[in-house]
A = this chain, B = another copy of it.
Amino acid sequence: MRIAVDAMGGDKGPHSAVAGAASAMVEDPSLEIQLFGPVRTLEDEISRLPRPLAAAASRLDLRDAPQVISQDMRASQALRHGQASSMARMLECVASGDAQVGVSSGNTGALMALSRRALGTVAGVPRPAISTAIPTRNEGRCYLLDLGANVDVSGDRLIDFALMGDIMARHVDGIAAPRIALLNVGVESTKGAASVLKADAELRRISGLNYQGFIEGDGIFAGEVDVVVCDGFVGNAVLKASEGLARMLVQRVQATFEAHWGSRLVGLLARPALKRLKSELDPVRYNGASLLGLAGIVIKSHGSCDAAGFHYALKRAVQEVRRDLPSRLEAELVNRRPLPPSSEEGGSSHGRAVVR
């Protein structure tokens, strides 16, 4: 298994990616990881790793890429001027087959744009989507997509997202008949945005899809569905709001106990429970978003994740390679889509469909 890693995408530099990659190699010595970035920077970072990780890190395959795509660079700029970046070189390596999967914590818009150009899409998908799993009640998880690759989408694209979510949940997570729902402002079939109402009508007609109809925002966490589909604007807002709220609540839990539990005894007793709680509420527990619809596998790690979070994203990458997700999408999407994607939409200002 060969993984190409853009080491330069993290908000706080290459530490999380380098340490996360080394830790993944400690856990699975059969992994081969290519690390992209300015070689001197990567070597410096490796030299600062603690001993057990440093030993594994010596097996990292360092690939020089002098340029870094910043978090605020526009996708169009990255396409035009980003050839020498760690992100673009990582993707070239995936496109050539030198690595089976690419992982980056970098600029999401640039990653999607460069991935589309380097890899193309499967089954004529005009708009790949971004999806991540979020924790639900009863220790479950739910995929949410799209998370920001596409805004102002049509009903046809929501149908693609639903089908891609279904295929991913079946093949990568082994759920026999994933429960799919469309996010809406009400559960009645008459309320909501025009694109959502259209997609609902079409999804009801697709045989073999375990489509549950509409769900409201609170349903995402209720554990009653496996895939929630929405426009990228909505999904991005919901995901980021949830991350912000979870951070705020964890802080309040800590503040509550610090303010009221002065005694050392109680503090000692509370510590393990609080620690466990914090990890349960950790928004990056399921770190590693999938770029769905590409003719190749690319995983987006959270920009602010730590080494453990990056390690988790690498595991997700391995899982998608093992299940060969792009081939499943290619094989199943074409037959199940009610309509071929309109070529007009594929050529819109949001980017061309590059079918490899």
A residues contacting B by CB (< 8 A) are 72, 74, 109, 135-137, 148, 151-152, 183-186, 188, 190-194, 216-222, 230, 232-234, 236-249, 251-253, 256-257, 260-261, 266, 269-270, 272-273, 276-277, 280-281
Contacts and interface: CB of A to CB of B under 8 A. Distances in A.
Count copies of this chain in the complex. 2
Nearest to A195: B152
A178 to B, nearest CB: 20
Given A151-B193, A253-B277, A216 B240 contact: yes
Given A230-B237, A237-B234, A260-B272, A221 B193 contact: no
A102 to B, nearest CB: 22
A241 B220 contact: yes
B252 A261 contact: no
A218 B191 contact: no
Contacts of A220: 241, 244
Contacts of A256: 273, 276-277, 280
A261 B269 contact: yes
A190 B77 CA distance: 12
16 contacts: A72-B188, A151-B185, A152-B193, A216-B236, A217-B239, A217-B242, A220-B241, A221-B244, A221-B245, A221-B248, A252-B281, A256-B276, A256-B280, A260-B273, A266-B266, A270-B270
